[in-house]
């Protein structure tokens, strides 16, 4: 079955594609397919892209103060139902943006409070 599908795909690509560049994204998986035909040779490259947004966000969270992290999570649970599900969906950027905005708000609030003590 797999052999038949592969053979069919190769025949179709040789018959109809001189050059191809296509990007695909499905939740956290993103890849690019490039194909180029030269005479009787068809070169196909499939590149898997890592989700840099999530990777950078998770590194940023590791550097975050534990108290601010916990307060942010508690605050967002009320605003975004199923926080983890949204983060694992295509709408993950909404969680990242909301999280960063809430962290800034909490940090500014703490700075303002500390200024009143001086």
Among the listed ranges 22-31, 55-64, 85-94, which one has the minimum average pLDDT value?
A: 22-31
CB-facing half-sphere around the CA of 82: CA atoms within 13 A: 6
Residue 61 has pLDDT above 90, yes or no: yes
Contacts for 76 with CB less than 8 Å, ≥ 6 apart: 83, 95, 98, 99, 102
At residue 42 the predicted structure's pLDDT band, cuts being 50, 70 and 90, is confident
Give the mean model confidence (pLDDT) for residues 87-97: 85
Question: Contact, 46 vs 31, CB < 8 A?
Answer: yes
Residue 91 has pLDDT above 90, yes or no: no
Residue 41 has pLDDT above 90, yes or no: no
Q: Which long-range contacts (CB under 8 A, 24 or more apart) does 95-104 make?
A: 96/53, 96/54, 96/57, 99/57, 99/72, 102/72, 102/75, 102/76, 103/64, 103/68, 103/72
């Amino acid at each position: 079955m797999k052999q038949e599908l592969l053979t069919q795909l190769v025949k179709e690509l040789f018959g109809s594609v001189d050059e191809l560049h296509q990007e695909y994204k499905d939740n956290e998986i993103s890849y690019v397919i490039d194909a180029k035909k030269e005479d009787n040779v068809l070169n196909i490259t499939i590149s898997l892209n890592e989700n840099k947004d999530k990777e950078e966000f998770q590194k940023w969270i590791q550097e975050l103060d534990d108290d601010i992290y916990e307060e942010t999570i508690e605050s967002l649970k009320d605003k975004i139902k199923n926080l983890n599900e949204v983060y694992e969906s295509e709408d993950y950027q909404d969680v990242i943006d909301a999280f960063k905005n809430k962290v800034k708000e909490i940090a500014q609030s703490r700075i303002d409070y500390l200024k009143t003590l001086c």
